[in-house]
Chain A
Amino acid sequence: MTPPRMLRIVLIVLWISLFAWSAEGWAETVYVQAKTAQLRAGKTSLDAVVGNVKFGDALEVVGRDGSWVEVKTAVGAKGWIFANKTSSSKPSGTNDTLAKLGQSMRGGDASATTASAGARGLDKASEGYANRAGVSARDRDAVDRMTAYQIPDQEVEEFLREGGLGEYAK
């Protein structure tokens, strides 16, 4: 192989590699910026739901059209998502590593302080506070019920649909 020919081959290989790297590097990623979101077969809320994604999921952008973004999930599923439910930056989430570490350092006992949604009863810390502060049984019950109050996501979705809000905008 003559030197100029070898050089040509090396340059071609380099060019192909660079192109492949660039295509990968330029692939735009968005993140789900909503509690949950649906992927649809088309870019309207009338199109069939083809998948569900959740807060923080990374999605590769395939295309955009108006208020909708066509995306591909990590497992290769494709669909359209309402643009207002995405963000170009990765959301940090509620209990990040630093917060967990801090609680651990301070000697936190999650089982003593956790008030999980849906569970009835004040947590130990609040119960202790209510006793010391002299909060009435009526007011304790009000906060207890407030803590436990839940509305299923499906009902929120229906509420948005009825009002023509979000992806159901007319």
Chain B
Amino acid sequence: MRNNHGLAAALIALSLTVAGCAEVQRASEDIARQSGNPRLAGAIHGVGNVVGSLFPIGYDEESSIGQAMALQVVARYGGVVDQPELVRYVNLVGRAVANTSDRPDIPYRVAILEHDSINAFAAPAGYIFVTRGLLKQVRNEAELAAVLGHEIAHVSQKHILDVIQRSKRLAGVTEAGLSYATSNPAAFKTVIDGAVKKLLDEGLDQEKETEADTIGEVFATRVGYDADAYVGFLTRLRDLKGDDRALFKTHPNFSARIEAVQKTIQGKHLAATGVVLQERFARMTKRV
């Protein structure tokens, strides 16, 4: 009997994969349940999850993950800055860059974390954070645009979602609390805590950070900001902190990052437009 269940589940899995039809899955589950066979219904449900786990995470799921991660980021970094004019300015720069990014069709919001460390983060679905400490190091709007471009690139390239999906597959987890966030909150919390640990403590792969640097540079220059601004910012941080990764513990060292950005500028012929908007930046951020 058990073999029959397995065979039936395997056949249904095959048909689901071929047909790509969630309705078929749900109907099969219902029929199995109504015919007094809950184990078969469970098997079909599990097969659907296995198949579903192979597909990318949709925006609704991404949004839940991003919001939950944002809660943890805000909690760990001591809350957010409540200065409406400053927050609006930083969001305007973020939106200017995001609107011509490779993923302009989702909402992006930037919050300033009440923290003196020099850092910035991006959670899925467009939740972006910069610390007050980072803003103090920025000298003009073009530098800020490049920093935000880096974070927007993490979102557009779905770096965190990629980490979550890979870790699920490695662990053989198929029902990791994404769509099941409400029905299985313990699993959802495990997923979010793991993703936050990766984001804040361990850091993403260095390749992803380099990719965010180069794509973010392209995003910022698309708007017309000076291509050399980001190099200036990274160089200042290297002069300040050295190359021992003490500052951005989770990123490649500054020299490697500067070199990658310079290669992008040359390879893609990004323009040194001279547009850095230092005065506007100084005016809008004087209370940082």
Q: CB within 8 Å of B: which residues of A?
A: 33-36, 55-56, 84-85, 91, 93-96, 98-110, 112-115, 117, 122-126, 128-130, 132-133, 135-136, 138-140, 142-143, 146-147, 149-151, 153, 155-156, 159-160, 162-166, 169
Contact = CB atoms under 8 A, between A and B. Distances in A.
B233 interface: no
B223 A165 contact: yes
Interface stretch (B1-9, B175-183, B236-244, B245-253): B175-183
A31 to B, nearest CB: 12
Interface stretch (B99-107, B199-207, B260-268): B99-107
B164 interface: no
Contacts of B180: 106-107
Contacts of A55: 104-105
Contact of A99 (B59, B141, B192): B59
Main SS of the interface on chain A? helix
Contacts of A103: 52, 55, 57-58, 60-61, 179
A156 B99 contact: yes
A99 B99 contact: no
Main SS of the interface on chain B? helix
Contacts of A113: 60-61, 63-64, 178-179, 181-182
Contacts of B105: 35, 55-56, 93-94
B113 to A, nearest CB: 10
Contacts of B25: 105
A166 to B, nearest CB: 6
A112 B182 CA distance: 7
B104 A34 contact: yes
B39 interface: no
A106 B187 CA distance: 14
A133 B58 CA distance: 24
Contacts of B225: 165
B49 interface: yes
A153 B58 CA distance: 25
Contact of A115 (B48, B52, B63, B88): B63
Contacts of A114: 60, 63-64
Nearest to B88: A151
B74 A139 contact: yes
Given A106-B180, A169-B275, A34 B99 contact: yes
A56 to B, nearest CB: 8
B173 to A, nearest CB: 12
Across chains A and B, which 5 residue pairs bring their CB atoms closest together, nearest first? A102-B55, A105-B52, A108-B179, A125-B181, A106-B52
B109 A149 contact: yes
A112 B141 CA distance: 39
A142 B80 contact: yes
B185 interface: yes
A125 to B, nearest CB: 3
